[in-house]
Structure 1
Amino acid sequence: MPPPPAKWKGKCEFTGTACNNKLIGARNFGGASPPLDEEGHGTHTASTAAGNLVEGANEFGQANGTAAGVAPLAHLAIYKVCGDVGCAESDILAAMDTAIDDGVDVLSLSLGGGSVPFYADSIALGAFSAIQKGIFVSCSAGNEGPFYESLSNEAPWILTVGASTIDRTMVALAQLGNGQVYVGESVFQPKDFPVKQLPLVFAGANGNESSAWCAPGSLQNSDVQGTVVLCERGGGIDRLEKGQEVKDAGGAAMILMNDELNAYSTLADPHVLPATHVSYAAGLSIKAYINSTSSPTAAIVFKGTSIGKKSAPEVSAFSSRGPSLESPGILKPDIIGPGVNILAAWPISVENNTNTKSTFNMISGTSMSCPHLSGVAALLKSAHPEWSPAAIKSAILTTADILNLEGKPINIFAVGAGHVNPSKANDPGLVYDIQPDDYIPYLCGLNYTDQQVGSIVQRNVQCSNVSIIPEAELNYPSFSIILNSTTPQTYTRTVTNVGQAQSPYYPMIVAPPGVGVSVKPDGIMFTATNQTAKYSVTFTKIQNIDAEFAQGYLNWVSNEHTVRSPIVVIFE
């Protein structure tokens, strides 16, 4: 795997959701620009978290139905922190401080930077202030996947959200002259485009990389008039710009093939001409067909919106992966949520439709998955106002789905605990709670100085007077263990019963390959709601395996609940 990029820079709005019937107006912290959404990102994320119900939502007729945010009865407070030159840390912190003062219940931040120490991370600092007031903080994991160690927003008091697909696709087929058919996607599906075979050309057949990418101006001297043009994804060129170049050169349609890194992750875009976006493997097959005949042809066949894709949810290729660079003893990302081809509100009509105010757009990113989880947190906060931010996070993590619709698991450094299941999160059985002061022994264990820890918790701290703990000892609802020898490692956890008063729980272990896992005690009997109990887990390397890491699970099972904690072991 190549090394991760150095930095992911967000240029996004920032949203606070308030479930306490307090409606707060938009406020501007983004420099000289007015407190308006100039590019659509803030409108999209805000409506995803808490948009009201709107009938007939669609884009170019696709994904037609009733749209709603995850928590449509919540009120929104929107704070603009980004302008033409990006997102200043001072503006982000000012907005977070204001949101805290305004009394929001959930902060949703679809922006972030690269991995830095928590005392130097403006979002981590603002988030810690928020959790001290009982405010839940949800942030995007970043869009630098599939590289490992590419995360943003790693602090354990933040819910770090990766992006997954949903089971809805906007199907556009590439039908070749040899009878082969490849499934792709496009949200723009003109009804008047004829289904007939047209000459098929690869834009990069001349060996020019710029032409292969269909870069602006690269096809001006190419003979693509009336053809279907195969373009490669990449080159730092927007996908829609590639289609514009094909259209300007006289092409009739485009097949956009993924690069190797993006592999299977296709996107439904509002292309400027008939087009389909296919996988890397499909693109290679289409290239092979072009090279196998003197007169290759292709047709684009539009099939509209399809529901029920069995491989969903899949982690998107762009979703940033762990392990965390700053704190590898905490499993990140925490969770994945819908972040691919998400239809949500947009400030203008992408179809140039002047007859409606209900305008929508379909875009992708961990910016889109973050507000899904923010909305879930708002619902849980409303249903369980006594739960702390850590308890809400625990409920989300320990009830997550770990298999897709085909029953196949997904890489743990990509999904964390799994895919969010809001209904189950409302009744988790047990939670792993953490109070703000509980992070101090953990932060001292990161070898931060007294001043650095104090800057995070906003009071004087002397680590010499603190019972310092290793990272994996934090009462987190997951385990991230580094094993470099056969010496056993033991960690403790405290669980709180938020289910039925009389509840016996027993451990069921799915041990990571090459690792022995044992739990004491071998059962917990709760006799009251909100009762707590401690247990310990011992991890031992029992054999060498040909892998950098292994994953497993620790489940506490009762008659009513399965409380699942993911385990990842990193071998050194």
Structure 2
Amino acid sequence: MDPFAISSYAAMKKGVCMSITAGNSGPSLGSLYNRIPWVLTVGASSIYHSLAGTVTLGNGSTITGWTMFPASALVHEQLLIYNKTLSHCNSSGWLSNPPYDGILVCDVGIVKSFRHIAPLTTSAIFICNDPQLAEVEEFSYPRVVIGSKVIEVVINYAKRSKKPMHLQIASPLANGGRAGQVNPNKALDSDLIYDTTPHGHVNLLCSMNFTSTQILTIVKSRSYNYSNPSDDLNYPSFIVLYTNKTTMISRTFQRAVTSVGDGPTIYKAEVTTSEHSTIFVWPEEISFVKKYEKQSYNMTIKYIKEKNGTVEYGSLV
């Protein structure tokens, strides 16, 4: 049994919130280090700020892209290397003649490219429209991700010019700036809260095929009702899981909310759906007359499996 799960459950029953790291294996699915539902799991997340990496060609043209290289850097007076055969940068076989004395251009930005060319060159340019590609993992060498709109400018320069160029990175990460997105003051000023209780967590444990001995090791009490297993906690989040054999799935969630705002309030549901799902909320509107009043609502998600099995997201505001 996980000692953190046992100790944090005891703390939760006393009204103490424990915070535990998410780990360093992200950001892929299923990489969370801690999966204890009654603790606050904290990890770094993407921030949509432009962490600028500047490409300056030998003709004076300047292109600004994205980077997560953890230091400021200047790659000075280097040739730009582009070869169509090598441009996917995802095969050690094609890249078997290191080192490449210059800045390598990769026109297909995938994670494997980062790993393959790390020992082969001192710097690189990746061409991709998604700035989050630049945040996938640590940059062990100066590299910049630029958009496909400027691909022809870079490739034509590499093919036609022998003038050296510069790659400059002015990274805010040079100062260790990896801030989270937590706003504790705003959280204290919320108007609606989703309460969870120890009994709700007991129902969750009962749904996870733990033995009675294992559950008692965590909760240390026989006073709960252990005959109502449920894997759905009263959280402001919802997840529908499916298997490879699933073609369509429908699931209904029930949530209870408490008003902590002052005076009468009315909330109307605003739903954003993914391409292959339909979401229904009932009632669409809930109202509160006084502070600490409770109301409940149901949300049904109907999902038709997308052929590639990708993860899709929606929201309820």
TM-score where L is the length of structure 1: 0.42
Alignment equivalent of 1:492, drawn from 254, 265, 285: 254
Check conservation: 1:199, 1:295, Cα contact below 8 A: no
Partner in structure 1 of residue 47 of structure 2: 165
Distance in 1 between the 2:250 and 2:104 partners?
55
Partner in structure 1 of residue 56 of structure 2: 175
Is residue 299 from structure 1 mapped to residue 113 from structure 2 by the alignment? no
What is the percent sequence identity of the aligned residues? 22
User: What whole-Å deviation, never above 9, does each CA across 1:201-234 have from its counterpart, x for those lacking one?
Assistant: 65998x99599699xxx75xx8x5xxx5549743
Taking a change above 3 Å as real, the CA distance of residues 470 and 444 of structure 1, as seen in their structure-2 partners, is same
Distance in 1 between the 2:190 and 2:36 partners?
23
Alignment of 1:355-374 (within 5 A): 361-362=175-176, 364=178, 369=180, 373=182
Distance in 1 between the 2:161 and 2:275 partners?
52
Check conservation: 1:488, 1:538, Cα contact below 8 A: yes
Give the secondary-structure state (helix, strand or coil) at the position aligned to 1:471: coil
Alignment equivalent of 1:507, drawn from 269, 272, 280: 269
Partner in structure 1 of residue 135 of structure 2: 265
Is residue 198 from structure 1 mapped to residue 77 from structure 2 by the alignment? yes
Distance in 2 between the 1:428 and 1:469 partners?
30
Is residue 550 from structure 1 mapped to residue 309 from structure 2 by the alignment? no
Is residue 476 from structure 1 mapped to residue 235 from structure 2 by the alignment? yes
Distance in 1 between the 2:217 and 2:154 partners?
56
Taking a change above 3 Å as real, the CA distance of residues 544 and 442 of structure 1, as seen in their structure-2 partners, is closer
Taking a change above 3 Å as real, the CA distance of residues 509 and 540 of structure 1, as seen in their structure-2 partners, is same
Give the secondary-structure state (helix, strand or coil) at the position aligned to 1:300: strand
Taking a change above 3 Å as real, the CA distance of residues 509 and 259 of structure 1, as seen in their structure-2 partners, is closer
Alignment equivalent of 2:189, drawn from 421, 427, 433: 427
Distance in 1 between the 2:264 and 2:254 partners?
23
Check conservation: 2:25, 2:33, Cα contact below 8 A: no
What is the CA distance between 1:289 and its match in structure 2? 5.5
User: What whole-Å deviation, never above 9, does each CA across 1:161-197 have from its counterpart, x for those lacking one?
Assistant: 341135363x44222236654435564357xx9xxx8
Distance in 1 between the 2:144 and 2:253 partners?
46
What is the CA distance between 1:497 and its match in structure 2? 0.6
Taking a change above 3 Å as real, the CA distance of residues 136 and 235 of structure 1, as seen in their structure-2 partners, is farther
Partner in structure 2 of residue 539 of structure 1: 301
Check conservation: 2:82, 2:158, Cα contact below 8 A: no
Give the secondary-structure state (helix, strand or coil) at the position aligned to 1:136: coil
Q: Which runs of 4+ in 1 moved over 6 A?
A: 210-214, 259-262, 266-269, 280-287
Alignment of 1:214-233 (within 5 A): 224=101, 228-230=102-104, 233=114
What is the aligned residue count? 294
Alignment of 1:103-142 (within 5 A): 119-120=1-2, 122-142=3-23
Check conservation: 2:8, 2:39, Cα contact below 8 A: yes
Check conservation: 1:504, 1:525, Cα contact below 8 A: yes
Which sections of structure 1, spanning at least 5 residues, go unmatched? Answer: 1-118, 247-253, 306-340, 344-360, 381-422, 555-563, 565-572
Is residue 441 from structure 1 mapped to residue 311 from structure 2 by the alignment? no
Check conservation: 1:263, 1:281, Cα contact below 8 A: no
What is the CA distance between 1:480 and its match in structure 2? 0.8
Alignment equivalent of 2:30, drawn from 128, 137, 149: 149
Check conservation: 1:173, 1:181, Cα contact below 8 A: yes
Check conservation: 1:142, 1:162, Cα contact below 8 A: no
The one-letter code sitting in structure 1 at the alignment partner of 2:271 is: I
The one-letter code sitting in structure 2 at the alignment partner of 1:362 is: G
Partner in structure 2 of residue 4 of structure 1: none
What is the CA distance between 1:257 and its match in structure 2? 4.2
Distance in 1 between the 2:268 and 2:255 partners?
15
Taking a change above 3 Å as real, the CA distance of residues 441 and 454 of structure 1, as seen in their structure-2 partners, is same
Taking a change above 3 Å as real, the CA distance of residues 553 and 189 of structure 1, as seen in their structure-2 partners, is closer
Q: Greater CA deviation, 444-453 or 275-284? A: 275-284
Distance in 1 between the 2:77 and 2:300 partners?
64
Distance in 1 between the 2:82 and 2:4 partners?
44
Is residue 234 from structure 1 mapped to residue 115 from structure 2 by the alignment? yes
What is the CA distance between 1:471 and its match in structure 2? 1.6
Alignment of 1:319-358 (within 5 A): 341=172
What is the CA distance between 1:513 and its match in structure 2? 3.8
User: What whole-Å deviation, never above 9, does each CA across 1:310-330 have from its counterpart, x for those lacking one?
Assistant: xxxxxxxxxxxxxxxxxxxxx
The one-letter code sitting in structure 1 at the alignment partner of 2:313 is: Q
Taking a change above 3 Å as real, the CA distance of residues 198 and 210 of structure 1, as seen in their structure-2 partners, is farther
TM-score where L is the length of structure 2: 0.69
Partner in structure 1 of residue 144 of structure 2: 278
Partner in structure 1 of residue 292 of structure 2: 530
What is the CA distance between 1:475 and its match in structure 2? 0.6
What is the CA distance between 1:531 and its match in structure 2? 1.4
The one-letter code sitting in structure 2 at the alignment partner of 1:127 is: S
Alignment equivalent of 2:72, drawn from 180, 185, 188: 188
Partner in structure 1 of residue 109 of structure 2: none
Compute the RMSD of aligned alpha carbons: 4.6
